[in-house]
Structure 1
Amino acid sequence: MAEIAVTVVTDRLLSLLADEARLLRGVHTEVEGIKTELLYIQAFLKDADAKAEKRDTSQGVKTWVQELRETAYCIEDLVDEYILHFANRPHRRGVLGFLCKISHLLPKLKPSHEIASKVQDLKLKVGKLKEASSTYGFVSSFELGSGSCSGTSVPWHDPGVTSLFIEDAEIVGIESHKGELIKWLVEGAPERTVISVVGMGGLGKTILAKKVYDNKRMVEHFDCHAWITVSQSFKMEDVLRNVIKQFYQARKESIPDGTDSMDEMSLITRLREYSEDKRYVVVFYDVWKLEFWRFIKYVLPENKRGSRIVITTRNVEVGSAVKESSFHYIHNLQALPPESSWELFCKKAFRGCCCPPELEEISLAIVKRCEGLPLAIVAMGGALSTKEKNELEWQKFNDSLGSQLESNPHLESITKILSLSYDDLPHYLKSCFLYFAIFPEDYSINCGRLIRLWIAEGFVKGKKGMTLEQVAKEYLTELIHRSLVQLSDGDYVGKIRSCRVHDLMREIILRKAEELSFCWALGEEDSSFDGKFRRGSVQKSTDNVVETINRNPQIRSILLFDIDAVPMLFTGTSLTTLSF
């Protein structure tokens, strides 16, 4: 997103302007002016990025966001040039100090003129971009007061809602989970019990919870029940109102007049009064925020009648919050094992029949890339069921999986569901997560090295009383808790040694990283890259790398993977490289 680029640059400008780099007063004043303009334009960025990502958005909006992003990159480069030439001046006082300043300044008169000229050009460009924002109807978050952009809200369509209606015959591998959850719900202590089902998007949390919720034993056991979709953009009043309505409907009772016009406090009072003497069960599906649970736990009463609350979430932190309740269970949903994955794939791709021998090898390769993610297996199998049973055709599908995820309507649900986790990230984590796109497929990343790379790239923002390494470790832990990063290895005291991302999630962020000019990956099958980029990943082959880099003056770092011979360009003093 443009928001990432501009936020990083603004943070660096603020840091720069806070130090004592005052050697060139004129340049400093102009840099301060750019900083002010960027702070103002940040108010439009969330709205602008949302518009740019809509499929039906105009080309003008997309061009505006792209220009803003590239301008931010130019400013970042200029900040580095400014620091290189002027930030390390002598600090001596008196006559000797004055002479030192003069001797320090003289060699820099030419670069100072060039930087001042570049600053003026960029300031004019940023000003024009700010003026152009009104052309596309971007709404300043300062004007809205709440930080949201109400003028650009898109009707919410839950990409996982269709999974609620999947037939039992199409489901594989959830029976044991289903039996365990039902046992927790209908047996056990009379105290109110909270159950969280935790796992990354696409693991089947929704299907599992819905099959349990609809089970005959469950329906007969509870006096009233409610299934509530929370999602990322919930309104608490709507949540409370839906619970009340579903409770009344479950008992075939008339919903009280005035329910639709009640305020939050009245809704809470009505809900608590109604459910106080009943054994209820509520499923809160797709919970993203910890604040939701901290609110709702006080709304539903502890009535010692065997009531139950179920939440499904991608966030380990949200799932673990139920430990605040005396009676709780946490169900960490795992990926399907290889046997179940293969069974599910054959059900979808071959309509329950056996896989033809000539397609077995490529089919196994496709299933392996799904890494036990049921939603992905079902979508891939469904997409391939429409294709000719031809090995060449299926190999082509596997080789172009990244573009298939972007354009194939059969795979749209995977892309949407996995992308939701990325979209929910705060800006300071988006750059860190996109950085995983720079590593090869199935690559186990050393966490210590990753943290140092984040710091070197400027992604980690300091916190009072903490080192940058400690802050970066917090970032990594949060990505793990959000089910975006998987642990590859740890030691006996639980210290994280290495990590990785799911292969399909990597494909999605690889496309996103290229789209944002964030990074570019050159593998054996690629000959070149047409476009600008900030970071490069050279994997196995260095053919045409030098030419590609020469066409991209904005490049900031290059990582080499599995390279036998390092090109001469990388051995010079002007470029520092890391080889893995």
Structure 2
Amino acid sequence: MPSRYRQLLHLENVKRTDIWELLKDINYFVRESEKAIDTFFINITQQQNSESESTTCIALLVGIHSKIIDIRNRLQQLPPGDNGFDFKERRNEFTHLLIEGQFQLDKSEFESGREELFDLLIEGQPQLSVVAILDSSGFDKTAFAADTYNNNHVKFYFDCHAWVRVSIAYNFRMILDDIIKSVMPPSRVSVVIGEDYQLKKSILRDYLTNKKYFIVLDDYCEESDDVLDDLEEVLPENQNGSRVLMTVTDPDFLSSFDLENGQTIHPDSVLVGGPLIRLKHEAWQFFILHYGKTTLRIYMGEKAFLTAWSTIYSVLELPVHLKICCLYLCLFHPGIEISTRQLYWLWVAEGFIPHNSEETAEHYLNELIDRGFIQVKKRRAGGTIKACYVPTFAYVALLLPAALTGFFWSPGLEEESMANAK
């Protein structure tokens, strides 16, 4: 971890330790309250009305009432707005560090790379070409890929299109299903999607034969190039200008490639000659798009680290009603499609939504979307959100505060959250 960032992460600098003790007490109280309420309702359901059981239920409820009074009194003794740790100030410090001392993307260089990419997509050689887009300072690789994917010239040029979110846990079965759903007509998807995995790969390959396709794999986080081997099995080389874009998070992904001059790429490499750089690949034309002047390890590692911690502070800065709804998103694997209606019901069932109002839940969702913690996947005809997903960077950033507050836990959570903060 860069030394200039460490001072911002010292939680022991929090002066109001009584607040952390109070939060722990509230967490414990919530768990005990749930047990008491469960006991109360079980007794009612089973109609067990013996005097001893009634006495136990009354004692539990009296204990809950006393604890509520105790917590309320302690909260009233806290000075308003003073918690000894200004999350907004810390987030602003991180934002400053994100800019200070880092390579800033020149607009002319950005446009040059964009033009090179469009030339490759539309006017490049007929061989199937793959472009891996890397993280860069002042450059959102997913937004860049989306702008390319939604371009009218691109949509007109290719026969079929697919945008697939890969996310943390690589699963080509899911990727295969998403490609099938995107490129095939719905009537055929309903027949194919339930078939055997190997048969589906064969069906997709046959379907894409003689078609000019454009496929985007967003947020590939693995350091291996397994995805390319899997894609070779389903993507035919039609010699008609088909293209694949990938947004890549881990620079180690490139360690299995060589530059055209034979030089091996490693995390300490400084890539020059770009922003669009040709690499060696046995089967396809392979390129990387990268804006950067330092080593891949430093460049991508520091950017990811700072972005993750800036997002963590943004989580901690949320008002309570949004914070609990936001932390709840840890339960969903990043990139997985989430039905908004089911999400509303889950929030309501957990007691997060006042008066169990679906309208309020929808308002909370829109606020979290505006803040970047959730992305829209599908909309209904009227414009309301039908499905959403949690981006990888948001998921990773949510894991740490969820673990620290005891909001959510699973085996290996601490290792997973740090291992994926790349």
TM-score computed with the length of structure 2 as normaliser: 0.39
Larger Rg belongs to: 1
